[in-house]
Structure 1
Amino acid sequence: MAPPTLPQLTRHRACQLWRLTLGTLVSVILFLSWHREQLAPTTAPARPTISALTDGTFIFYFNRSVYEALFPHLQLYRCQEVIARDDLCQGPSRAPLLLLAIKSHPASGNRRATLRRTWAQMAEVGGFRLQPLFLLGATSNQKQLELVALESRVFGDILMWDFMESHHNLSLKERCFLQWVHGHCQRAAFVFKGDDDLFVNPKVLTDYLRRTPNASHFIHGNIQFHSVVMRWGKYAVSRDLYPLDHYPNFASGGGFIMSQLGLAALYRASLELPVFPLDDVYLAFLALAAKIPHRHDKVFRVWGIPKDELSAYQDSISIHGVSMERIEEVWKQLESPPKDFRTSS
Structure 2
Amino acid sequence: MISPFHVYLRCLHFSRRRWPILFLVISCLFFLHFIFSGYFEELLSCVLPLFYPTPSSLSTSQLLAPSILVSPPKGCSPAPFLLILVSSSPSHQDQRNTIRQTWGSRSSSKVSLSLTLFVLGVPKSENEQTALLQEANIYGDIIQADFTDSYRNLTLKTLVGLSFVSQRCQGAKFLMKTDDDVFVNTLALSRFLQGQGGPLYLGRVHWRVYADRNPGSRHYTSRSTYPDENFPPYCSGTGYVLSQEAIVSFLQQAERQTIISLEDVYSGILAWAAGISPKHVARFAGSILVPHSGCCYNTMFTSHGLTPQSMKEAWTMLSEVRNDWCLLSLLRCKIQGNIL
Q: Scaled by the length of structure 1, what TM-score is found?
A: 0.70
Measured in 2, the distance between the counterparts of 1:210 and 1:172 equals 29
CA gap of 1:272–1:86, structure 2 versus 1, over 3 A, is farther
C-alpha displacement of 1:283: 1.1
Q: Aligned pair 1:157/2:144, yes or no?
A: no
CA gap of 1:306–1:279, structure 2 versus 1, over 3 A, is closer
Measured in 2, the distance between the counterparts of 1:77 and 1:208 equals 33
Measured in 2, the distance between the counterparts of 1:338 and 1:248 equals 36
CA RMSD of aligned residues (A): 2.7
Task: Name the structure with the higher strand share.
Answer: 1
Structure 2: unaligned runs, 5 residues or longer: 1-48, 54-62, 325-340
Structure 1: unaligned runs, 5 residues or longer: 1-53, 59-75, 341-345
CA gap of 1:228–1:152, structure 2 versus 1, over 3 A, is same
Measured in 2, the distance between the counterparts of 1:78 and 1:223 equals 26
C-alpha displacement of 1:57: 8.3
CA gap of 1:301–1:56, structure 2 versus 1, over 3 A, is same
Structure 1 counterpart of 2:173, one-letter code: A
Equivalent in the alignment of 2:193? 209
Measured in 2, the distance between the counterparts of 1:335 and 1:287 equals 36
Equivalent in the alignment of 2:75? 88
The 5-angstrom pairing of residues 179-194 of structure 1 reads: 179-194=163-178
8 Å CA contact retained: 1:123, 1:129: no
Equivalent in the alignment of 2:25? none
* Matched residue SS, 1:110: helix
Structure 2 counterpart of 1:208, one-letter code: F
1:276-297 deviations in Å (ceiling 9; x for gaps): 2221121112112222121101
Equivalent in the alignment of 2:212? 230
CA gap of 1:339–1:177, structure 2 versus 1, over 3 A, is closer
CA gap of 1:201–1:124, structure 2 versus 1, over 3 A, is closer
C-alpha displacement of 1:171: 1.2
Q: Aligned pair 1:79/2:94, yes or no?
A: no
C-alpha displacement of 1:155: 0.7
C-alpha displacement of 1:305: 3.5
Task: Name the structure with the higher helix share.
Answer: 2
Q: Aligned pair 1:196/2:186, yes or no?
A: no
CA gap of 1:86–1:287, structure 2 versus 1, over 3 A, is farther
8 Å CA contact retained: 1:122, 1:132: no
CA gap of 1:123–1:270, structure 2 versus 1, over 3 A, is farther
Structure number, greater radius of gyration:
1
Q: Scaled by the length of structure 2, what TM-score is found?
A: 0.71
Structure 2 counterpart of 1:230, one-letter code: D
Equivalent in the alignment of 1:343? none
Structure 1 counterpart of 2:66, one-letter code: C
Q: Aligned pair 1:220/2:202, yes or no?
A: yes
Identical aligned pairs, as a percentage? Answer: 27
